[in-house]
Amino acid sequence: MGKMKILVVLFLYVCSANIFSESRLISLDKDLYEEILKKRPKIFFSQSAGKLILVSLDEEILPYVSHLAHEKFKRCGGYILEDSMEEAYPLLNSFQNFDNFESKKLQDKKEVREFIEEVNTSFMKETIEKLSSFQNRYYESIHGVKSQTWVLEKWKSLAEGRSDTSVSFFEHKNFQQPSVILTIKGEQFPEEFVILGGHGDSISGWFPDENVRAPGADDNASGIATLTEVLRIFLESGKRPRQTLQFISYAAEEVGLRGSKEIATAYSRAGKNVKAVLQFDMTNFSGNRYDFVFISDYTTDSLSTYLTSLVEMYLPDYSWAYDKCGYACSDHASWYREGFPVAFPFESTFDGHNEKIHTKEDTIAVSHNSASHAAKFSKLALAFLGEFTL
């Protein structure tokens, strides 16, 4: 019997034996929920919440849910781990197409074009290779902590000499991997926030542990490399943003968007004025002819349109398209459900996705040992920062 068949048999046996004791509440799309039901897991209860389903099930089944979300539906996280029914149900039941981005007229700035010229693929490749060199970046492993510590120290080194910039961990309540937040204080509107983020964790297989090899070069060392290069160029320029900028390497995205959900919820409860959130999750695999694919579900239409206008103005040789990924396929969903303006530029359409993600084969070799595709996303992010925050 093959390894996959053994895993399936083991999964079905454990479910039927009913030996799990701890249940967790998650929200997910109906199509993923219906597929999970085919495996007959123990469901403690389920309830519709608008277009979504709230489900309470055994915690140890969650890695399988993540696996299924990727394998069948080409989604990354695939679900959101909820804290309680009392908090989740009202929020999800009011889910709507938020379109509250306050756009600005593009000015075709010289400084933006200078930013774009500074993007260095060699630096980005080094970042991808360094993050990929950790055994894994799993949220429950010591490697996941060490990799985030490396990100923190790297970003600190880039911010050296900037009195307006700080870097710190965001410690999470229920797991050891921290998120990393770099903050550049706004010069004119310090109480307004513009956030660029991507997840720092990686995963491989259904039930990973400390020793599993999960390089996560594309998913998502590439996104962190994209952010790091944007930081390098922006900080070296000496420019002072009008709004407060934050760059975030989220923890625990692969297991229910746990890191970004905790952060976005905290920002919402604190009443923070978040003007825009950009998500960079997988930027270095060119799966088809499009350079940018803007995810159109659970994102803000006007912000995505603003980004396409930036492509047309500053990156006219690059092509773009729209596609859908399904509920909770990355950290953008955590912010969107809190009512913040969100955009998610992705590396390819979902039918051309990188099939090596979530395996030990997700290395930079899949992207021809180059960071050239990810560099396009750094250029787009720099165009956004230059037009929107300077």
> Measured between alpha carbons, how far apart are the two ends of the chain, in Å?
60
- Least Cα distance to 121 among 294, 360, 371, 330 occurs for 371
The single residue of 58, 82, 218, 254 carrying the catalytic annotation is 254
Catalytic residue check, 362: no
Catalytic residue check, 253: yes
- Least Cα distance to 200 among 266, 245, 155, 160 occurs for 155
The single residue of 29, 229, 253, 347 carrying the catalytic annotation is 253
Say how far apart CA 27 and CA 328 lie, in whole Å: 9
Catalytic residue check, 172: no
The single residue of 29, 82, 229, 281 carrying the catalytic annotation is 281
- Least Cα distance to 300 among 272, 326, 271, 335 occurs for 335
Catalytic residue check, 358: yes
The DSSP annotation for 199-221 comes to E-----SSS--TT-----IIIII
CB 232 within 8 A of CB 375: no
The single residue of 29, 58, 201, 219 carrying the catalytic annotation is 219
Considering only CA atoms, give the Rg of the chain.
Answer: 20
- On the question of a cis peptide bond just before residue 220, with omega within 30 degrees of 0, the verdict is yes
Catalytic residue check, 331: no
29: tokens are: 């799309």
The single residue of 358, 362, 373, 387 carrying the catalytic annotation is 358
The Cα-based distances of 111 to 238, 329, 368 in angstroms read: 12, 34, 31
User: What residues form DSSP beta bridges with 53?
Assistant: 28, 48
Backbone angle region of 82, left / alpha / beta, with phi > 0 → left and psi within -120 to 50 → alpha: beta
Say how far apart CA 256 and CA 28 lie, in whole Å: 10
The single residue of 70, 172, 199, 373 carrying the catalytic annotation is 199
Catalytic residue check, 67: no
Q: What is the layout of strands, in order, in the sheet containing 43-49? A: 43-49, 52-58, 23-29, 80-82
The Cα-based distances of 132 to 103, 214, 216, 378 in angstroms read: 37, 8, 6, 19
Catalytically active residues are 199, 219, 253-254, 281, 358
